[in-house]
């Protein structure tokens, strides 16, 4: 998830408490109602999952998760990460040197990093998974309907937990530990064209690239050395800490666990990409309509 969206979740949590800046009473009621519905649906899905897992404990232990034989190693992960982020920063700095405004340069830099990072991650996966992308990343339309349902259910289940954690840590942590990302300010100032680019970046490209990297490459690499749950927890911790904003780290860690668990359970990337897309998309929608 892009850094810009991390704080949108905080704003969404604040909106649930009636603290949305600039919103009318009617807007706050509609926003709170939508959040309550998501929390209610998510709680039901979470309870159903818990009951089903109690009946079938192997679902939680991941003893029967699909294998993904690979030659991925830490060098692959480091190279992809630094090329992706290096290009993002390089394009942003170059554009600013040429006179492009900081916010616009940031949007274009993010897009450049994503447009190069996605094919780069796919190429590394293609060369390293012994059975190709279809089996390594589960890139097949064979189970698309089931996987779409899994993604929607996974999003609903993790939403109330993440929302509660953001609200809790926004309350617990001192104000000077909590920073507001400049992209939030930018969204209020960018032209419609740039706002459209932010939406495409945040809701489509960022989920695809981050799931390719954190689940498809990093978590699969860790599986070479450890069992599924240590791999999920390690990848989730890195995923959360890379975003480097204290009040959001616990929520992003839990989101990472949900994403990693779903990837291990089915061995296919589409459900976790969909969870990530819904997470970013809903939070962005609440922010833009606050």
Q: Is 218 exposed, middle or buried (0-12, 13-18, 19+ CB in 10 A)?
A: buried
Q: What DSSP assignment string belongs to 176-224?
A: GG----HHHHHHHHS-HHHHHHHHHIIIIIHHHHHIIIIIIIIIHHHTT
Question: Encoding tokens for residue 121?
Answer: 């991650």
According to DSSP, the residues that pair with 129 across neighbouring strands are 70
Q: What is the 3-state secondary structure (H, E, C) of 47-69?
A: HHHHHHHHHCCHHHHCCCCCCCC
**Which residue do the tokens 């953001």 mark?**
166
Q: CA-CA distance, 162 to 160, in Å (whole number)?
A: 6
Question: Encoding tokens for residue 81?
Answer: 């990460």
Q: CA-CA distance, 61 to 53, in Å (whole number)?
A: 10
Q: CA-CA distance, 261 to 229, in Å (whole number)?
A: 8
Report the pLDDT value the prediction gives residue 171, as an integer from 0 to 100: 85
Is the pLDDT assigned to residue 97 strictly greater than 90? yes
Report the pLDDT value the prediction gives residue 193, as an integer from 0 to 100: 92
Q: CA-CA distance, 97 to 77, in Å (whole number)?
A: 30
Predicted confidence (pLDDT) per residue in 4-13, tens digit: 444 444 444 4
Question: Encoding tokens for residue 38?
Answer: 């998501």
Predicted confidence band of residue 182 (pLDDT cuts 50, 70, 90) = low
According to DSSP, the residues that pair with 70 across neighbouring strands are 129
Distance of CA 35 to the CA centre of its chain: 19
Report the pLDDT value the prediction gives residue 13, as an integer from 0 to 100: 45
Predicted confidence (pLDDT) per residue in 7-63, tens digit: 444 444 443 333 444 455 555 666 777 888 899 999 999 999 999 988 888 888 888
Q: Which residue has the higher pLDDT, 160 or 177?
A: 160
pTM: 0.88
Q: CA-CA distance, 270 to 144, in Å (whole number)?
A: 8
- Which whole number is the average pLDDT over 136-161? 93
Predicted confidence band of residue 185 (pLDDT cuts 50, 70, 90) = low
Lowest pLDDT segment from 22-36, 56-70, 186-200, 244-258: 22-36
């Amino acid at each position: 998830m892009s850094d810009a969206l991390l704080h949108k979740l905080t704003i969404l949590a604040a909106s649930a408490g009636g603290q949305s800046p600039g919103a009318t009473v009617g807007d706050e009621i509609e926003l709170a109602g939508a959040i309550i519905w998501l929390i209610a649906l998510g709680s039901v899905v979470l309870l159903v999952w818990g009951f089903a897992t109690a009946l079938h404990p192997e679902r939680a232990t991941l003893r029967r998760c699909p294998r993904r034989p690979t030659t991925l190693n830490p060098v692959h992960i480091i190279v992809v990460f630094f090329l992706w982020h290096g290009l993002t920063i390089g394009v942003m700095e170059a554009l600013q040197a040429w006179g492009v405004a900081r916010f616009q340069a940031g949007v274009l830099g993010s897009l450049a990093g994503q447009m190069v990072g996605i094919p780069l991650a796919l190429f590394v996966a293609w060369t390293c998974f012994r059975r190709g992308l279809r089996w390594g990343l589960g890139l097949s339309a064979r189970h698309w309907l089931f996987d779409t349902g899994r993604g929607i259910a996974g999003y609903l289940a993790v939403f109330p937990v993440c929302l509660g954690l953001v609200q809790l840590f926004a309350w617990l942590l001192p104000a000077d530990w909590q920073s507001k990302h400049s992209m939030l300010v930018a969204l209020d100032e960018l032209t419609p064209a740039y706002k459209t680019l932010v939406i495409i970046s945040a809701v489509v490209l960022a989920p695809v690239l981050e799931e390719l990297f954190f689940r498809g490459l990093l978590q699969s690499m860790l599986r070479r050395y450890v069992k599924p749950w240590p791999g999920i927890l390690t990848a989730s911790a890195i995923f959360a800490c890379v975003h480097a904003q204290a009040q959001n780290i616990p929520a992003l860690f839990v989101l990472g666990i949900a994403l990693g668990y779903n990837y291990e359970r089915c061995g296919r990337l589409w459900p976790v990409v969909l969870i990530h897309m819904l997470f970013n998309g809903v939070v962005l929608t609440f922010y833009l309509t606050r």
